[in-house]
Amino acid sequence: MHLEIYGRRRDLALFNLAIDSKLRGCDLVHLRVQDVCHGGHVTSRAPVMQQKTKQPVQFELTTGTRKSLDEWTAVAALRHSDFLFPSRVGNSPHISTRQYARIVHQRFDEIGPDPTAYSTHILRRTKPTLIYRRTKNLRAVREIAP
**pLDDT value of residue 77:** 92
**pLDDT value of residue 16:** 87
Question: 58 near 46, Cβ under 8 Å?
Answer: yes
Q: Which residues contact 76 (CB under 8 A, 6 or more apart)?
A: 6, 9, 10, 86
**pLDDT value of residue 112:** 67
**pLDDT value of residue 99:** 87
**pLDDT value of residue 20:** 85
**pLDDT value of residue 114:** 61
> Rounded CA gap, 87 and 103, in Å?
13
Question: 10 near 72, Cβ under 8 Å?
Answer: yes
**pLDDT value of residue 13:** 93
Mean pLDDT per 10-residue segment, the chain (146 residues)? 72 89 89 92 90 86 93 93 88 87 76 61 60 66 58
